[in-house]
Amino acid sequence: MSEEPPPRLDEQLPQIRSRLARASDLLVCLDFDGTLAPIVDEPDEATPLEANERALSELVAEPTVSTAIVSGRSLPDVRNRIDEADAYAGNHGLELARSGAVSVHPIARKRAASIDEVCSALEPVLSPVPGSRIENKRLTATVHTRNVPEPLRPIVHRRTTTILDRFGDDELELSRGKRVLEIGPAIPWGKGNAVELIASGLPDDAATVYVGDDVTDESAFRVVEPAGIGVRVGADDPSAASCRVRSPTDVVSFLQWLGSAGVDLIEQSGRRDETPVDPPRAYPSRGQIDLEYFPKSRDG
Ligand SMILES: O=P(O)(O)OC[C@H]1O[C@H](O[C@H]2O[C@H](CO)[C@@H](O)[C@H](O)[C@H]2O)[C@H](O)[C@@H](O)[C@@H]1O
C-alpha cells in the first residue's frame, strides 16, 4: 500500500471507464458508517443520506448490477438501517445474508460466548468513564470512545486491553477503527473475504466496485483492486483503494454516475450477450452452510 493517499476519483475516471467498458456485469459493494451514512456521535442515530438510498435503489433496479452492503455492524442492525441491497455482510464479513439465507463463520459463532463474557467484564470497568459505550454485536463487540473526553481515552484503551488479555485467551483480538476499539475472533477473515464470496456468484468478467472509509475496508480494497475499483471515503489516509472521495455526499454522486454512465458502459460493451451467466448461487439453509461457505480450520 502506498504511503500517499489515492488520487481523487474524478482524476481516475478514464481508468474507471475503461474497467467498466470491459465488464459484463457490475457488483457494487458499500460500507455503511462513514460511506452511506455520515459519522455521528451516537451510533444508534446513524442514518444513510436519502440521496444515497435513492441512488442504491436505482442501481438495484438495473439488471446488470448486483449490490451488497458490507458493514462492521451486526447483520440485523445494518439491514434495519438500509433496505433493498441484494446481499448483506455484517460484523466485518463474519455473517452473510444472500438469496434469503444467512451464513455465519463457524469459528466466530463458537467464540460468541467469549465476546459476551468480555462485554460483561468491560461493563463495570468502563461504565465509570464518561461517554464510553460498549456495543455487543454477538460475533464482535465495539468499544466507542468518540464521546469520551480526549484525556480519558487512553484509560479506555488500557482497561479494554487488560480485560481482553484476561478473558480473550488468545481467541479474540483487538483492532482500531474510527474512535472505536473493535473486539473480534482472532481469525484471518474480514470484509475482503466476504466480498470474494459475494463476487464468486457472478461471471468472471464482472467488475467489482467497493466503497468504504475505515481500516476494515482495506481488506476489501485489496481484493477488488486492480481488476475492480476501490474508492476510499475520507480526506487523505493512505489506502489500497485506487481513488478517493471526500464524504458520503460525494458517494451519492459516484453512485448516480455508476447508475447512468457506468451502466451504459457495461451495456455498450455487449459482453453480456456473449457470456452465458450462471444463476446466482443460492445460500443453503442454516446448519448446512458454515463449512461449505467458510474455510475449514482446526477448531472449525
Ligand atoms: O463497517 P461500517 O459499516 O463502517 O461499521 C464500522 C463501525 O461503525 C459504527 O461506528 C462508527 O460509526 C458511528 C456512527 O457514526 C460512530 O459514532 C463511531 O465513532 C464510528 O466508529 C458502528 O457503531 C460499529 O459497530 C461499526 O463496527
For residue 286, is pLDDT > 60? no
Q: Element (H or E) spanning 201, and its range? A: none
- CATH class of the domain comprising 9-103+189-276: alpha beta
Across residues 190-206, what is the average pLDDT?
A: 96
Burial 113-129, CB ≥16 within 10 A → b, else e: ebbebbbebbeebbeeb
Residue type, 201: G
For residue 3, is pLDDT > 80? no
Q: What is the pLDDT of residues 77-135, one digit of tens each?
A: 999 999 999 999 999 999 999 988 999 999 999 999 999 999 999 999 999 999 999 99
Burial 170-208, CB ≥16 within 10 A → b, else e: eebebeebeebbbbbbebebbbbbbbebbbebbeeebbb
Q: Which strand ranges, in their side-by-side order, compose the sheet holding 133-136?
A: 133-136, 141-144, 180-185, 172-177
| Atom of ligand 1 at shortest range from CA of 214 | 4
- CB of 160 closer than 8 Å to CB of 201: no
DSSP state of 11: G
- CB of 107 closer than 8 Å to CB of 95: no
- CATH class of the domain comprising 108-185: alpha beta
| Percent of the residues in the chain that have a pLDDT greater than 70, as a whole number | 88
> DSSP 3-state assignment of 210?
strand
| Atom of ligand 1 at shortest range from CA of 182 | 27
| Percent of the residues in the chain that have a pLDDT greater than 90, as a whole number | 84
Q: Which of 33, 142, 146, 181 is the best mutation target for the ligand 1 pocket, counting ligand atoms within 8 Å of the beta carbon and taking the most? A: 33
If you measure from the C-alpha of residue 250 to the centroid of ligand 1, how many angstroms do you get, rounded to a whole number? 19
Question: In the predicted model, what is the mean pLDDT of the chain?
Answer: 91
User: Any residues with Cβ below 6 Å from ligand 1, and which?
Assistant: 31-34, 39-41, 43, 46, 71-73, 135, 142, 144, 146, 177-180, 182, 214, 216
If you measure from the C-alpha of residue 2 to the centroid of ligand 1, how many angstroms do you get, rounded to a whole number? 25
Domain map of the chain by residue range?
9-103+189-276, 108-185
Q: E strands, 155-234, where? A: 172-177, 180-185, 207-212, 229-233
Place of cell 468480555: 118
For residue 225, is pLDDT > 90? yes
Across residues 51-71, what is the average pLDDT?
A: 98
For residue 277, is pLDDT > 90? no
If you measure from the C-alpha of residue 19 to the centroid of ligand 1, how many angstroms do you get, rounded to a whole number? 31
If you measure from the C-alpha of residue 8 to the centroid of ligand 1, how many angstroms do you get, rounded to a whole number? 24
